[in-house]
Amino acid sequence: MISLLLAPAAFGATMLGGLVALRLKDRLHLILGFSAGAVVGVAFFDLLPEAIHLGQGTPERTMLFVAGGFLFYLLLDRLALLHAAGHEHDGHGHPAPRGGLGALTLVAHSVFDGFAIGFGFQIADAVGVAVAVAVLTHDFSDGINTMTVVLKNGGSRREAFRWLLADSLAPSLGIVIATILPLPVELFGAVLAVFAGLFLYLGASDLVPESHHAHPKFLTTATTVLGAGLVYAVSAALH
């Protein structure tokens, strides 16, 4: 039930990210850099060790689930991009709604974020807290990305806000579903390993490149290291 209390926080983090995207365009790289470090830090310092500890098989088997989570998220992103690229223009010569496709992908990602929080608290409160830290920082960047992808692809502000609202509600949906569906104990290790793979993809393949895309500065790298270090400190304190 604790996870349900985080639903408003996930909603607020995503909405705040979207609003910040309109206000602080020149500082987003620092925020995204910190988010990248936090998400990767949770995967390395909390989820992976816990997954190996709770795993029902060998560490090699656990790493297969990590790879599966990583590749699953990669396929979601690539399929959305390929579908959008194949429909760059509609029959009237207007740009295709690539922004909507990108935003829909982010909404789907956010539902999985909610699953991660809900299932994390089923495993242990410490795991749930660590996952929630990573998810909330990622939700903030999701709000930024949702607003940006719609506006950059010709969408109106009203359309962008509608997608932002959907993305903000998506984690709550995932949390509720995960709370209703109990997770068997024997699956704890596998689920944590899959989420570790998801977070590694989000951090290394999405947030880190995005934070350095326009501002490859030392300060951006420093905030990434700071984000990972903060998660390590929190994880060490909880354990």
Condensed to tens digits (0 to 9), the pLDDT of residues 48-100 reads 888 888 776 788 888 999 999 899 878 876 765 554 454 444 444 444 445 66
Cα 2 from Cα 178, distance rounded (Å): 12
Tokens of 236: 């060490």
Residue 84 domain boundaries = 2-238
Domains identified in the chain, total number: 1
Rounded to the nearest integer, the mean pLDDT of the chain is: 77
Q: How far apart are CA 141 and CA 92, in angstroms?
A: 34
Q: For residues 125-154, give the mean pLDDT.
A: 75
Which residues face 89 on adjacent strands? 95
The pLDDT tens digits of the residues spanning 95-128 come to 444 566 667 767 877 887 788 888 888 888 877 8
**pLDDT 10s digits, 195-223:** 888 878 877 776 676 666 656 677 778 88
Instruction: Please give the DSSP secondary-structure letter assigned to residue 186.
Output: G
